[in-house]
Structure 1
Amino acid sequence: MRGTRLTILIVFTLTALSAIALVVFTPLFDEADKTTIPRAVATTPAAENSANADTAHKPTVSPLWDTMQPVAELFEMLTERAFDDQPADLLLLADRTRLSFDEVRGAVPEVTASEIDTLILKIRNSIETDSRPDVAFSAVEGYRRVIEISDASDVSKAISMLDYAGFRIHANLKCDPVRWNDISGAFDFASSQWLEVAPHIQDGELADKFSINLDALGTAIADFNQELAESAVAHELDLVDELESAAGKG
């Protein structure tokens, strides 16, 4: 009887933990393109916790991230070049992404591998139909999926998600008409990620610059000011590169 009660207690505990995990990370669904933006529930960062800050600045041994990083970088390149490169060049880059992913497929859960395969196929189809926004959206979602399954530190992932949000905002600003609803969702997601990252950036000047620019981006979005939003998101992506170095990711 004691063994039965212990089994029930363990099952109940695991079920409760699973429910908590589902609350922590919930998707924001955008009706415009039927893709999801992951929205993390924002928590107030404990800036005074110096132990956490010190840990974040020490590079973490990440064998899976080392394996997956080339794939993430190729998806990132596809996102950046989707609106400007020639179709033939984009097709070559899509093929490089597929080949790079094939090399590490065994390290990826089967469901995720299937999702990534589908996204690469969508990228190729969108290139062939010259649907540039769809190239960018599929590529940035591929980037997100690779980051999510990596074993990089939480801070490194949050910084990468700032990149993800910036790329998504940039792609939405290129659409005609501009997709402000999706932009607003991506901005909210970026804000939640910055709450996670900010306490771990010891360079106060850099942290201030990012915060000021994020505020400027939010104002431009609230005013539906495309020109200012494009300028602010371009600066956000540049600052993310600096954050990667400051947090020991880059």
Structure 2
Amino acid sequence: MAVPAASSADAALLAAAEPFEKLTETAFSATPAELDLTIGEVRTAAAGVRSALSASAVGLLDERLAAIASARGADRRADLAIAAVEGYRVLVSAVSAAAKVPTAVNLLDYAGFRYDANLKAKPARWADMMQAMAFAREQWASIASRVTDSALRGQMDTSLTEMEGAAKRRDVPAAAAAAQRELALVDDLEKFFNAP
């Protein structure tokens, strides 16, 4: 059976988003050499999917790549993580509406990573964390009714509430723990939507 072009493009976009996710996750802990290696992977991945993107998405992606280079050059780890996760957002947002896993799931991943990167900034960027939470709430509202696993649905609701509460209280340990729970639950959502 031939794979439809849309699903092939979607798979390529999601694969290209992975190095951006890796860079976001490792921006604060990787050595400079490791960062440069991952940035090389990011550039290669971005180049490979340019033809699958709209002109406006290509422009946005180029802006994110420039921001990654600038942040790396100035050794601004938080800005590097944010630029990388914004590149991730461009790519996952370009996935078609026909994809098995709704784009909102990947955007919940984006929101969790952005929240976590802002938490790790010195000082923490609490206002931006609250913006990430507002965005996460919008994404969750768009798909929550499709999640028939009531335990998973409840856990995600609780996780988002915990993230919001921790950011409002400026509670670093609680925010870090809540972000990790949310990112793990996004993995569970992916499995839920991928189930046969």
- TM-score of the two chains, using structure 2 as the length reference: 0.89
Structure 1 residue runs without a partner (length 5+): 1-60
Q: 2:107 aligns with which of 161, 164, 167?
A: 161
For 1:55-204, list aligned pairs within 5 A. 62-153=7-98, 156-204=102-150
Distance 1:180 1:228 in 2: 13
**What's the C-alpha RMSD, in Å, of the aligned pairs?**
1.9
Distance 2:115 2:162 in 1: 14
Deviations 1:157-185 (A, max 9, x none): 11111111101100110112111111111
Distance 2:69 2:37 in 1: 10
Distance 1:142 1:206 in 2: 28
Of Structure 1 and Structure 2, which has the larger fraction of its residues in helix?
2
Q: Check the 8 A contact 2:159/2:178 in 1, yes or no.
A: yes
AA matched with 2:50: R
SS at match of 1:144: helix
Distance 1:65 1:233 in 2: 26
Tell me what 2:189 maps to.
243
Query: Which deviates more, 118-127 or 128-137?
Result: 118-127
AA matched with 2:102: S
AA matched with 2:88: Y
% same residue: 35
Q: Check the 8 A contact 1:172/1:179 in 2, yes or no.
A: yes
AA matched with 1:123: I
Distance 1:152 1:89 in 2: 35
Deviations 1:11-45 (A, max 9, x none): xxxxxxxxxxxxxxxxxxxxxxxxxxxxxxxxxxx
Of Structure 1 and Structure 2, which has the larger fraction of its residues in strand?
1
Deviations 1:112-153 (A, max 9, x none): 223212322321332232110011010010011111222144
Q: Check the 8 A contact 2:108/2:186 in 1, yes or no.
A: yes
Q: Check the 8 A contact 1:220/1:229 in 2, yes or no.
A: yes
Q: Check the 8 A contact 1:202/1:246 in 2, yes or no.
A: no
Larger RCO: 1 or 2 (CA < 8 Å, sep 6+): 1
Distance 2:133 2:83 in 1: 18
Tell me what 2:3 maps to.
none
SS at match of 1:247: helix
Q: 2:177 aligns with which of 227, 231, 234?
A: 231
Distance 1:94 1:136 in 2: 11
Q: 1:98 to 1:221 in 2, by over 3 A?
A: same
Query: Which deviates more, 186-195 or 120-129?
Result: 120-129
Distance 2:61 2:30 in 1: 22
Distance 1:230 1:87 in 2: 24
Q: Check the 8 A contact 1:140/1:168 in 2, yes or no.
A: yes
Q: Check the 8 A contact 2:61/2:87 in 1, yes or no.
A: yes
Deviations 1:77-110 (A, max 9, x none): 1111111111111111111121122122222223
